[in-house]
Amino acid sequence: MRKMSFQRCARTDKGVSAAGQVVSLKVWLIDDILDKINSHLPSHIRILGLKRVTGGFNSKNKCDARTYFYMLPTFAFAHKDRDVQDETYRLSTETLQQVNRLLACYTGTHNFHNFTSQKGPREPSARRYILEMYCEEPFVREGLEFAVIKVKGQSFMMHQIRKMVGLVVAIVKGYAPESVLERSWGEEKVDVPKAPGLGLVLERVHFEKYNQRFGRDGLHEPLDWTQEEGKVAAFKEQYIYPTIVSTERDERSMAQWLSTLPVHDFSATALATASTSAKVGLSLKMLAQWVPSSLEGSDGDGDTD
């Protein structure tokens, strides 16, 4: 019996779908093991490959980064004066450049306490490191244009990715000024909208430190799954993308969420600070530096951590 790592793809109807999850377990290496395992699984859950790993390997603890993608109809980026669900909308080069400029602002280490309901502004674990975030070129499915946002980070908190997407959408549509993004890193509470969970998919888990130490020791293969890329792409085209497209058409989750953006007050924190300072003087600003913001409730959505 050997310790093995399996790459699996899964489409889920609730929570986060996975296009490249990795699980580790000890198994007997029998002939045609992948086919035998897959024969007992539903069609929307597939084991795509396996690698021999070290005896103490744990796929959750050894993962040092994750890549998610968020697929959304591009009418989400249309200006707020347009119809909330204009299926004829096509993302212009200029708007795509604006989206990518804003998404790039998330890279590096920031205090993301405003992007989750689980952390206070002074908690060290609210600081997260984002390696890259960008939007790919749009494509059309069933007459509706979609785009995929990729984000790679060391780890993510509950709702973090959906709120990162939500704030950029609000800025591009004209509901919020770009200054809100910079202000969200501060300690004060900022009203950050949470985009729908439908389009969120775990794209890949990374084991870069493990690969550097064991990937070329002659006994173990690096966990990069390059040979399975074609199978992953086919799985996304067969199960994940069609599910997102059909569910969006049936439930209109993005269109309904976009209609709620006008109720968000993106200047509330700044206005409250100015108003209170005028009444009681500058000493209250010192107080605001150590009084944590209240946290709102959360129902969870599958963002990791």
Q: Which three-class secondary structure state does DSSP give residue 2?
A: strand
Label residue 15 left, alpha or beta by phi (over 0 means left) and psi (-120 to 50 means alpha): left
φ, ψ (nearest 5 deg) of residue 230 = -65, -40
Q: How far apart are CA 180 and CA 192, in angstroms?
A: 9
303 labelled catalytic: no
Beta-strand runs (E) in the chain: 2-10, 17-27, 45-52, 65-73, 108-111, 127-135, 139-141, 144-153, 200-206
The catalytic position among 13, 81, 217, 250 is 13
68 in a known ligand binding site: yes
| CB-based contacts of 151, cutoff 8 Å, min separation 6 | 67, 68, 69, 70, 103, 106, 130, 132, 133, 161, 164
Residues belonging to the binding site for substrate are 68
Residues belonging to the binding site are 68
Q: Which residues are catalytic?
A: 13
